[in-house]
Amino acid sequence: MSSKNEPIYIFGHQNPDTDSICSAIAYAYLKQQQGLHAVAYRIGKINRETAFVLDYFNFSEPEYLSTVKPQVMNLDMDEATSVNVKTSLAQAMQLLEPTSIDTLPVVDNKEMLIGLISTSDIAKLYMDVFQKNILSIRFAPFKNIVETLQATVLFDTKKIPFTPNKVFVADVSTKQLEYYLEPGDIVILGNCAHTQQRAIELGASCIILTLQTKVEKNILTLAKQYCCRIIQTPFDTFTTARLILLSIPASLAMTKEVFSFEQDDYLDTVREKMQQHRYKNFPVLDTSGHFKGFISRYHLINFQRKKIILIDHSDQSQSIAGIKEADIIEIIDHHRIGDIQTAYPIFYRNEPVGSTATIITELFEENAVPIPKDIAGILCAAILSDTVAFRSPTCTHVDVQTANKLAAIAQIECESFAQEMFMAGSPLKNMTPAEIMHSDFKEYQLNRKKIGIGQINMVGLSEIRKIKPALINYLESLVEDKKYYIVMLILTDIINEETEVLFSESPKGLVAKGFNPLKDEHTFAVNGIVSRKKQIVPKITELLARANQL
């Protein structure tokens, strides 16, 4: 389903918890051991607990990924050989001939795109053949002339720069020559020694001998005296006069006003821009301005969608922007099945365990991939976090066995490490109500109602009670501004195993029907450790279903 070199994006849900982040890192490692180009990402800010775990086991924070919308880099771009600003039109035409692309990128000496040259650009310039002093206007390097005419250099001089005036075909008598020839002209002539001598004396910058005409020694001596270059071409006069115009550098025929895209541009933006600019081919640049290829409208029909693996979630509302435009190839989760749909069958692993990390560990074992010490550490931490050190009602014997096995590999003790981890994530000092709410927040679509539930584990509830009014105000603002039907914040004291839930709803009254008795209009208490997925979400789903039946 995915080639070895094609990148695979692996990430958990928004407002990621420890399980989401650590399971993504571990699964990316497993895929890498299988020879796949898998990378773990995060799609939200990590919380303090997760930061502690990553630091403890020497992992860097995964790179942030904002969207999986297709980008220009996902297109199978047309390749094209770039030409330098000094490249002759003849060379450019040779490069254009065997390709289906009628445009070439023109780059400077630093490989930066400065323009485009097409067959129509060359044709337009070639039609300008009758313009007076064409080569003085469009300067052609001596090297280009030699290469274009397949010439042999009989004499060159480094004393003076090559600054040709115009091209002159010496088809007049020697006496008439002085009336037409101007200093600096390039003179095309044959085997008449008198004409060669007079052209040199009149200040020609270069004489071109057609049909491999040989030159006498006295002419060479005179050319050295007057610093006149002499070259010898196998072509006849007509062909030479026609070809020499193609020695003009590409930079003088190119289109300078170029609309380009960058590899990171999103395709929806590209489509919009293409409608505004009626070009056939659009160059693509990297962030440094270097040419990478061409795209056109037909490239937008078929393109490679980004391959993604979802960890610890299967709800669109909890996932990344642009998910409908990506190819989901796997889902590894331990929650209820969400609303994400795929175009074809995928590998979907869902088990009723307390942590996605438990399933990831099973996949290591099933694929006979050894678990390194650091990977074992973050997987164990993820299980301890999600099961609240085995106290959560979602915890199973499989979670306990798996965590103990991983702890042995990581050389940690589960209970003491869990306490240290929870202590690191518990302090709320300098955290705003929004940061507290979204440190582990999930959004659900239940019976067509938008529900938001945050959860935070703490060592004692005294600290949170001091800022309870500010938290409730924030919950009410979410209901009003973000149009949530219900928002809840689950506050669990992992030491004393007690839980308080703050909530706001609109309209009021539904929560009281399912979570009695209320402590006040925005709070209810629950004995023990509370599971969002096993106790809160199913209850709200049931309440909404009943309300719809009335």
Q: Domain locations in the chain?
A: 8-70+305-425, 74-125+252-300, 140-247, 433-549
CATH numeric code, 140-247: 3.40.1390.20
DSSP element (H, E) containing 545: helix 537-549
The three-state (H, E, C) secondary structure of 157-205, written as one string = CCCCCCCCCCEEECCCCHHHHHHHCCCCCEEEECCCHHHHHHHHHCCCC
Mean pLDDT in residue range 461-479: 90
Q: Residue 37: name the closest of 74, 64, 7 by CA.
A: 7
Judge contact between 123 and 256, C-beta under 8 A: no
In whole angstroms, what separates CA 344 from the centre of its chain? Answer: 25
Give pLDDT, residue 549.
Answer: 66
Q: What angle do CA 27, 28, 34 make, to 5 degrees?
A: 95
pLDDT at res. 466: 82
Rounded Cα distance, 309 and 41, in Å: 10
Percent of the chain with pLDDT over 70: 96
Q: How far apart are CA 433 and CA 470, in angstroms?
A: 7
Strand-pair partners of 454:
441, 489
pLDDT single digits (tens) 316-328: 989 999 999 999 9
List C-alpha distances in Å: 132 to 206, 375, 499: 18, 75, 91
How does residue 437 score in pLDDT terms, banded at 50, 70 and 90?
very high
Contact, 538 vs 352, CB < 8 A? no
Q: Please say if the pLDDT value at position 78 is more than 80.
A: yes
The domain 8-70+305-425 having CATH identifier 3.90.1640.10: the answer here is: yes
Task: Report pLDDT for 97.
Answer: 80
pLDDT tens-digit profile of 94-109? 888 876 678 899 998 8
CA distance 147 to 143: 6
Q: For the chain, what is the largest distance between any 2 Cα atoms, rounded to a whole number of angstroms?
A: 119
Give Cβ neighbours of residue 110 (< 8 Å, ≥ 6 apart). none
* Fold annotation for 74-125+252-300: CBS-domain (3.10.580)
Once rounded to an integer, what is the mean pLDDT over residues 148-174? Answer: 87
Q: Is 97 left (phi over 0), alpha (psi -120 to 50) or beta?
A: alpha
**Each residue's pLDDT tens digit, 361-411:** 999 999 999 999 999 999 999 999 999 999 998 999 999 999 999 999 999
CB 104 within 8 A of CB 83: yes
- Range in 10-14, 422-426, 472-476, 481-485 the model is least confident about: 422-426
Distance CA 438, CA 436 (A): 6
Mean pLDDT of 12-17: 94
Spatial separation of the C-alpha atoms in residues 211 and 231, rounded to whole Å: 11
Position 1 confidence tier, pLDDT thresholds 50, 70, 90 = very low
| pLDDT-based confidence at residue 139 (cuts at 50, 70, 90) | confident
d(CA 245, CA 125): 9
User: 274-278, 323-327, 446-450 — which is least confidently predicted?
Assistant: 274-278
Cα separations (Å) of 36 from 148, 297, 307, 453?
A: 49, 31, 12, 35
How would residue 550 be classed by pLDDT, with cut points 50, 70 and 90? Answer: low
For 329, list phi and psi in degrees, rounded to 5: -105, -20
Q: How far apart are the first and last CA of the chain?
A: 47
Which of 331-340, 382-391, 429-438, 537-546 is predicted least confidently?
A: 429-438
pLDDT at 468: 92
The token pair that represents 495 in the structure block: 């030491």
State how far the Cα of 488 lies from the Cα of 138, in Å rounded to an integer.
73
CA 144 to chain centre: 39
Cα(18)–Cα(20) distance, integer angstroms:
5
pLDDT greater than 60 at residue 309: yes
Percent of the chain with pLDDT over 90: 59
Nearest to 183 by CA among 169, 170, 164: 164
Residue 354 to residue 397: CA distance in whole angstroms: 9
Cross-strand pairs, 500 = 491, 525
pLDDT confidence bin for 110, thresholds 50/70/90: confident
Average pLDDT, the chain: 90
Element containing residue 127 per DSSP (H, E):
none
283-287, 299-303, 339-343, 453-457: least confidently modelled range: 299-303
- How many helices (DSSP H) and strands (DSSP E) are in the chain? 20, 23
Looking at domain 433-549, what is its CATH homologous superfamily?
Answer: DHHA2 domain (3.10.310.20)
User: Residue 38: what pLDDT?
Assistant: 97
116: three-class secondary structure by DSSP = strand
Say whether pTM exceeds 0.75.
Answer: no
Position 301 scores a pLDDT of: 84
pLDDT given at position 134: 54
Identify the residue with better confidence: 471 or 159. 471
Does residue 529 surpass a pLDDT of 80? no
Report d(CA 337, CA 315) in Å as an integer.
8
